[in-house]
Amino acid sequence: MASSTWAKQMSGKSRRGMGNPSVHLCDYHQVRLDDSDFASAKKEAADSPAEYADTMYANSLCTALVRRIVKDSKVAIPKSLAHDRAISMAMAMEERLSADSHSLEDYYKAMGTNEDQLIAEMEEAATKQLESRAVLLAIAKTESIEATDSEYQAEVKRLGMHYPLSFGELDRFFHANGEDVAIREDVAIEKASRCVTERAMAQDSER
């Protein structure tokens, strides 16, 4: 499948138009990390540059705790949503390869794979990403975590750094495409992630 075909698949789709995950959240306050999670986090931190070790350790524990919450919850990701995310990931990969004067065909030959296998692998990765996002959003809603107007404005300005548009123009564009809701969700998810990180680090301190 050529990149132009992928682009046609994604044309006109916003994140709000790709289907919604279903989440029945577990009692996430009771979910605990185990020794393997801490050991894995320590290894990732040790393999990182010294100045990033603490951040890597905390991020690894957060990821592990989110995955355990996902496992204990009931999360259903629409196949169409995972597929669309996989296509977006493949397109981004193709852009990176192109920047290095390579193509997807070069990648297929080097890795002994093909387009169908690539998309299948990316759908699996996309499903995990979407599960984590869905759970973090559910936690945000449970904890009444929302993006403030100032946080939304800051995120819109960050996203628009490379475009010669005013905040008002960007805001109207995002509203017209339904992306304003997704942006607010992104901010809320980031804030929920920080809460999960704090819980993970608290468990670390209790050991």
Phi, psi of 56 (to 5 degrees): -65, -40
At position 94, the amino acid (one-letter code) is: E
Residue pair 179/155 in contact by the 8 Å Cβ criterion: no
- Number of helices (H) and strands (E) in the chain: give both, helices first: 9, 2
What is the pTM (predicted TM-score) of this model? Answer: 0.86
Q: For residue range 46-89, what is the model confidence (pLDDT) as tens digits? A: 999 999 999 999 999 999 999 999 999 999 999 999 999 999 99
Whether 170 shows a pLDDT value over 80: the answer reads: yes
CA distance 188 to 27: 19
What does the pLDDT read at residue 178?
Answer: 87
Helix or strand holding residue 168 (H, E): helix 167-176
pLDDT of 16 > 60? The answer is no
Q: 100: burial class by Cβ within 10 Å (0-12, 13-18, 19+)?
A: exposed
Read off the pLDDT of each residue in 160-177 and give the average, rounded to a whole number: 89
Residue 2 in this model has a pLDDT that exceeds 70: no
The reported pLDDT for the residue numbered 7 is 58
Paired with 23 in beta bridges are: 75
Helix spans in 53-114 (H): 53-72, 79-99, 104-111
- Nearest Cα to Cα of residue 14 among 189, 180, 190, 186: 180
Sequence ranges of the domains in the chain: 1-8+78-137
For the chain, what is the mean pLDDT?
91
Distances (CA, A) of 178 to 25, 84, 155: 26, 17, 15
At 198 the pLDDT is 97
What is the reported pLDDT for 200? 98
